[in-house]
Chains A and B, each alone.
Chain A
Amino acid sequence: MSWYALLLFVAVITVFPFVWMLLTSLKGPTDEIFSVPPQFLPGSPTLDNYSNVLDQLPVPTFFLNSVIVAVAVMVLNVLVAALAAYPLAKLRFFGREAIFYLLLGTIIVPVQLTFIPSFVLAVNVFHYYDTLAALVLPSLASAFNIFLLRQAFRGVPGELIDAARIDGASELRIWWSVLLPIIRPSLAAVAIFTFVTSWNDFLWPSLMLHTRENMTLPVGLVALQGFFSSDFRAIAAGVTMTVVPIIIFFMVFQRHFVRGLSGAVKG
């Protein structure tokens, strides 16, 4: 019995900031938000705060932009990493170790270090300032993902690959039809990691995205906080609007998330 009490206690600690935001977002103008003692439940609940936010800021567009970027990054990044990881794991060629250690070394580099030159590249070379492409392209190379997938490929028995080669399959075909299906759990784990990281990314998108309609969720939320500054009810509505769908989505797919995350680190 006491275990449930502990679990419940931790659960309350985990979700109470969001619950507080939810409750505040439903409060009408006469409900206290800063009272002592705090008033939890709205006396006259209203959805006005939500319509207020939606009138002023394109929150659904923020969502859409985040989805577009996160999906694009997830798919492309994982493909690039899976392509790179295969030869590093299973093929022999000149420079293999050097390339591997070079990639490994880049994991240590803090990504924020690259922002100043990336900014210059975005404006002068790629001309994608204030577009979603600016969020996708720099995120496609992840040495970390390459490392994880290389581990996964190494676990595949060499005989399978040899058999496919004897059958005359090209390396690309072997990679796509034989190996990728085998490492699917690792692919899923890496894909989920990558999606969540892209979804929550703030600093680089805030540097790139200028127009409201191009903003992703984190950038849009900060704009929302700035726009409504001391209107706590509106801000609460904005935050709740963005967090609730994510929580629902996560709860539905949580088994995959959890399985993916736990599969990523094996002894």
Chain B
Amino acid sequence: MTRRFTLTPYLFLAPALALVATFVIYPIAAVAFYSFTDFDIITAPEWVGTDNYRRLIADPTFWKALTNSAVYLIVTPTIIVLSIMLAIVVNRRLRGISLFRALYFVPAVSGSIAIGISWRWIFERNGLLNSALISMGLLSEPVQWLTDPDYVLPIAMLLTVWAGVGYYAVIFLAGLQNIPDELYDAARIDGCNRFQKHWHVSLPGLRPQIVFVAVISSLAALKVFDEIYVLTNHTGGVLESGTTIVFYLWRQAFVLSNAGYASAIAIALLLATLVFSIGLIRVLERGDAT
């Protein structure tokens, strides 16, 4: 039987496709074009060939930003481990457990700006952290947490982990509740202790969720901006210690009006993300086969 051609599927798809064409496809092409130009957003772009890319390759700040973004990826396994642990802990029939679950979710709905500002005042030179550590005798002098190049990025990463664990724990919790009890019973009969039980039953059972969270979290880590913006007061940190790729892109495009150069950074980001995604999929698929 031949398929009758109808417009209907295309009509259903039309709004989404029009929007994607306008706000994703066209911008990719436009950015690719801008990357070969000198452009300040206000006046028309001027063609400069591969100048931006040559400058990019020789730009130490770009490589620092790339390194920082790569380092930032550490948050993903950290979040996965902590979220799974939290999910296991709250997956119990204790009284009032739903109140705790709701509380753990609060950072996820509070927004990265509110969180970032709150944390910034805690890590300030005369903020809560220094005051507490000094009064407990663990420090003799306040530490400049936010202006020390060694601490800025880890603090931003800590913030991301802190804000994300409760959120992802909910996903893992749902996954845990889908694991049949019989598997745990079998493990107990086989003599597994608590740790082995989770290692052999919970973790394999959580595979789909782990894959999902790994992809979502790592793609988000590569694009991190808000935490850096607030913690470094939109400077990117001393010696670019907190500058990530997206932060550098933003600064070049919207602070320094080097939109052409920023477009080259954007293309570099796209390539980096592409390479990373392909790598991640390979790794996850190999795990599937074992």
Q: Give residues in A with beta carbon < 8 Å to B.
A: 3-4, 6-7, 10-11, 13-15, 17-18, 20-21, 24, 34-38, 80-81, 83-84, 86-88, 91-94, 96, 99, 103, 106, 108-121, 137-138, 140-141, 143, 146, 171, 175, 196, 199-200, 202-203, 207, 217-218, 221-222, 225, 232, 235-236, 239, 242-243, 246-247, 250-251, 254-255, 257-258, 261-267
Contacts of B22 in A (CB 8 A): 121
In contact, A111 and B277 (Cβ under 8 angstroms): no
Q: Taking CB as reference atom, which chain B residue is nearest A238?
A: B117
Known contacts A108-B277, A203-B250; is A119 also within 8 Å of B41 by CB?
Answer: yes
Asked if B118 and A239 make an inter-chain contact with CB atoms under 8 angstroms apart, the answer reads yes
Given contacts A10-B104, A239-B114, 17 further A-B contacts (CB under 8 A): A3-B89, A11-B103, A14-B166, A20-B118, A34-B127, A38-B131, A38-B135, A83-B12, A110-B219, A112-B246, A113-B266, A116-B266, A141-B19, A141-B23, A146-B16, A236-B121, A242-B111
B222 to chain A, nearest CB (A): 7
Minimum CB–CB distance from A212 to chain B (whole Å) comes to: 16
A109's contact among B28, B90, B111, by CB below 8 Å, is which?
B28
* A247-B178 contact in complex given A10-B86, A239-B114, C-beta closer than 8 Å: no
Q: How far is the CA of A190 from the CA of B165 in the complex (A)?
A: 20
Q: A207 and B254: CB pair below 8 A? A: yes
Please tell me which one of the listed residues A84, A91, A218, A250 contacts residue B16 in the complex, with CB atoms under 8 A apart: A84
B290 at the A/B interface (Cβ < 8 Å)?
no
Contacts of A202 in B (CB 8 A): 111-113, 225-226, 229
B274 within 8 A of A: yes
> Assuming the A-B contacts A236-B121, A267-B175, are A103 and B111 also in contact, with contact meaning beta carbons closer than 8 angstroms in the complex?
no
Given A37-B132, A203-B250, A258-B102, A112:B223 Cβ within 8 A: yes
Q: How far is the CB of B197 from chain A (nearest CB, A)?
A: 17
- For the A-B complex, the count of residue pairs with Cβ-Cβ distances under 8 Å equals 262
Find out whether the CB atom of A246 lies under 8 angstroms from the CB atom of B110: yes
Residues of B within 8 A of A93 (CB): 3, 6, 9-10
Across the interface, B113 reaches (CB within 8 A) one of A81, A140, A218, namely A218
A178 to chain B, nearest CB (A): 15
Q: Confirm or deny: B279 has a beta carbon within 8 angstroms of a beta carbon on chain A.
A: no
Contacts of B9 in A (CB 8 A): 87, 91, 93, 96
A251 to B115, CA, bound (A): 18
Least Cβ distance of B53 to chain A in Å?
Answer: 16
For the complex, give the distance between the alpha carbons of A19 and B94 in Å: 25
A92/B3 in contact, CB under 8 A: yes
- Chain B residues lying within 8 Å of A222, measured Cβ to Cβ, are 113, 229-230
A264 to chain B, nearest CB (A): 7
Q: A54 CB to closest chain B CB, in angstroms?
A: 17
Asked, given contacts A10-B86, A37-B132, A141-B19, whether A108 binds B274 with beta carbons under 8 Å apart, the answer is yes
Flag if B269 contacts A110 (CB, 8 Å).
yes
Tell me which residues across on chain A come within 8 A of B101, comparing CB atoms: 254, 258
Interchain CB contact under 8 A, B249 and A112: yes
**Residue with the greatest number of chain B CB neighbours at <10 A, chosen from A10, A18, A21:** A10
Count how many chain B residues have C-beta atoms less than 8 Å from C-beta atoms of the other chain: 95
Residues 13-27 of B, flagged 1 when their CB comes within 8 A of A and 0 if not, give 101110110111111
In the complex formed, the residue of B with least CB distance to A225 is B117
Residue pair B20, A117 in contact (C-beta under 8 Å): no
Contacts of B109 in A (CB 8 A): 196, 199-200, 246-247, 250, 257
Q: Report the minimum CB–CB distance from B139 to chain A (whole Å).
A: 10
Q: Are A264 and B171 in contact (CB under 8 A)?
A: yes
B19, B30, B104: the one within 8 Å of A11 (CB): B104
* Alpha-carbon gap, A126 to B152, bound state (A): 39
Tell me if B15 and A80 are in contact (CB < 8 A): yes
Among A7, A115, A120, A141, contact of B89 (Cβ-Cβ < 8 Å) = A7
B112-152 CB contact bits vs A (8 Å, 1 = yes)? 11110111011000111011101100000000000000000
Cα separation A266 to B274 with both chains bound (whole Å): 25
Q: Which 9 A-B pairs have the closest CB atoms?
A: A262-B174, A37-B135, A141-B19, A84-B16, A114-B27, A87-B9, A117-B30, A17-B118, A117-B27
Q: A7-B100, A112-B223 are in contact. Are A200 and B170 (CB under 8 A)?
A: no
Q: Indicate whether B34 reaches chain A with its CB closer than 8 angstroms.
A: yes
The answer to whether B94 touches A80, judged by C-beta atoms less than 8 angstroms apart, is: no
| In the complex, B31 has a CB within 8 A of chain A | yes
B113 near A221 with CB under 8 A, answer yes
Q: Is A117 within 8 A of B94, CB to CB?
A: no
A258 close to B8 (CB less than 8 A): no
Picked from B90, B131, B229, B277, the residue with its CB within 8 Å of the CB of A36 is B131
- Pick from B34, B104, B106: contact of A18, CB below 8 A: B106
Q: How far is the CA of A86 from the CA of B212 in the complex (A)?
A: 23
Residues of A within 8 Å of B110, CB to CB, are 18, 243, 246-247
Chain B residues within 8 Å of A108, by CB: 219, 273-274, 277
Q: Is B262 an interface residue, CB under 8 A from the partner?
A: yes
A201 to chain B, nearest CB (A): 9
**A210–B288 alpha-carbon span in the complex (Å):** 49
Q: Is there contact, CB below 8 Å, between B225 and A112?
A: yes
